[in-house]
Amino acid sequence: MKKKISYTEGPIGEIRVVRDFLPSPEKLAFREEQVKVTIGLSKSSVDFFKAEARKHRTHYQKMIRRLLDFYVAQQR
């Protein structure tokens, strides 16, 4: 920032309270129970998830797990 911000006393305009939408630390620390499985996937599917995981700096297994979780949630 090149321009210095100057704060002055006086009215600051309409104030709006924003609802706290962030999850609690307890919810962030929660880990759902996982079950290890062995599954055969096509090479093209695994290559796709590995490439996307590199782009987003995450693990490809986590992406696959979240995709399955999302699918299950939509089916309920």
Segment 3-24, tens digit of pLDDT = 887 777 777 788 888 888 777 7
**53 Cβ neighbours under 8 A, 6+ residues apart:** 59, 60, 62, 63
Contact 21, 14 (CB under 8 A): no
Q: pTM for this structure?
A: 0.59
Element (H, E) at 70: helix 60-75
- Across the range 53-62, mean pLDDT stands at 93
Q: Domain coordinates of the chain in residue numbers? A: 42-76
